[in-house]
Chains A and B, each alone.
Chain A
Amino acid sequence: MTTTPMPPTEAALQASFDATIAHHDRIEPRDWMPEGYRKTLIRQIAQHAHSEIIGMQPEGNWISRAPSLRRKAILLAKVQDEAGHGLYLYSACETLGVSRAELVELLLAGKQKYSSIFNYPTLSYADVGTIGWLVDGAAICNQVPLCRTSYGPYGRAMIRICKEESFHQRQGYELLMTMMRGTDEQRAMVQESVDRFWWPSLMMFGPPDDASPNSEQSMAWGVKRNSNDELRQKFVDMTVPQAEALGVTLPDPDLRWNAERGHHDFGEPDWAELTAVIRGNGPCNAQRMAHRRAAHENGAWVREAATAFAARTAQEAQR
């Protein structure tokens, strides 16, 4: 009665994959996909997951020194969200056939990366506001188009994340607004913080398009929907009026409106700095990795205790 159908040829599988991509449809975990697509996604989603987890550190640094209970509760909730974002993304990545344990090992061995922005220090509480406004703002710029990425589980994780990011950006901006209504000293703290974070925030979009070798293939696969430079421009255009409303100066003498292009012109980020930070030579790379390693090792007993408890409960249920 049952006949085993002939397995489709590789060419047929590739053709159906290409057709799905051409329709701007989504690839789902049980679909056939080219090995390069799978590898690119694993690298990108893992890097994204690691960024959420490492990204807890710069702000986590301030939780115990928040200026009020209100700010403490907000910051705690935000950092907690970032842990959740990491989990959504590790789970999405696991649908591609890797385990979270493997990914964590690759991070700890320095074989997978995380966003360069988290290798900068947080020197004052104003940085909590600036990170929410600029860093989460840049992340939102990056992540909104990724809600339509071609890999279903990644897109769905991005949708959840984007919903939560809105709170992150607004609490940061509101914090800065509050400080700008304060004393001269507080206003100076905000400006100093924006001065430090502006250029690293622009670098979050990655190297310029002509120096980003994998981008073209990622765009063809629908993994990325916009180029690095497009997103960077969009971020600058969005942020300039926000900076004006806040009353801070963005530290770029070349920043001005270009009516002809309908966009802001802006200066060139220091790409040598980005390369150095990516290679491990940013101000906090070593500290971030050491902290993550220590957290992983110090948390081992919790994982072991949970496993032992589950085993004992199962044993007792059998009796």
Chain B
Amino acid sequence: MTGDRRDWPLYEVFLRGKRGLNHVHVGSLHAPDDAFALSHARDVYTRRNEGVSIWVVRADAITASSPDEKDPLFAPSGDKVYRHPTFYEIPADVPHM
């Protein structure tokens, strides 16, 4: 790694707001290595008690779906209305359904 900041890799930052919740993506930052990324994430994203746990992961380690693929990926579930509980008509007087 060179000393030039432009070469620092991009990291994505995930925070767990409190115990029991999922880590949620909050943003990103550049850092020279994993340890710096973690401490910068602490400084940038948790100054007001926003988290009890931080994950940082190099952005180039993430494989993401591309917007162009939106249709082939997600359209197939669009017409499967029967996957939703509201598809089934059950009289309102049947309790606990």
Contacts and interface: CB of A to CB of B under 8 A. Distances in A.
A152 B20 contact: yes
Interface string B75-92: 000001011110111110
B97 A155 contact: no
Nearest to A237: B96
B20 A74 contact: no
B50 to A, nearest CB: 16
B82 A77 contact: yes
Contact of A26 (B20, B84, B90, B96): B20
A242 B94 CA distance: 6
Interface stretch (A164-172, A264-272, A275-283): A164-172
Contacts of A166: 85
A174 B87 CA distance: 10
Contacts of A30: 53
Classify the secondary structure of A's interface with B. Answer: helix
Interface residues of A, number: 27
Given A238-B95, A245-B94, A171 B80 contact: no
Nearest to A164: B83
B83 A77 contact: yes
A173 B85 CA distance: 11
B84 A155 contact: no
Nearest to A70: B82
B94 A173 contact: yes
B53 to A, nearest CB: 7
A20 interface: yes
A174 B90 contact: yes
B22 interface: yes
Contacts of B94: 173, 241-242, 245-246
- B20, B91, B94, B97 — most chain A CB neighbours (10 Å): B20
Interface in B7-51: 16, 19-22
A106 interface: no
A48 B76 CA distance: 29
Nearest to A25: B19
Nearest to B20: A26
A20 B19 contact: yes
B93 interface: yes
Given A74-B82, A77-B83, A155-B20, A171 B96 contact: no
B19 A173 contact: no
Interface string A70-87: 100110010001000000
B85 A167 contact: yes
Nearest to B23: A28
A238 B88 CA distance: 19
B19 A170 contact: no
Nearest to B91: A245
Interface of A: 20, 25-28, 30, 70, 73-74, 77, 81, 152, 155-156, 166-167, 169-171, 173-174, 177, 238, 241-242, 245-246
Given A169-B85, A173-B97, 19 more contacts: A25-B19, A28-B16, A28-B53, A70-B82, A73-B82, A77-B83, A152-B19, A152-B21, A155-B20, A156-B20, A167-B83, A169-B97, A170-B90, A171-B82, A171-B88, A174-B90, A238-B95, A242-B95, A242-B96
Interface of B: 16, 19-22, 53, 80, 82-85, 87-91, 93-97
27 contacts: A25-B19, A25-B20, A26-B19, A28-B16, A28-B19, A28-B53, A30-B53, A77-B83, A152-B19, A155-B20, A166-B85, A167-B83, A167-B84, A167-B85, A169-B85, A170-B87, A170-B88, A170-B90, A171-B87, A173-B97, A174-B89, A174-B90, A238-B96, A241-B96, A242-B97, A245-B91, A245-B94
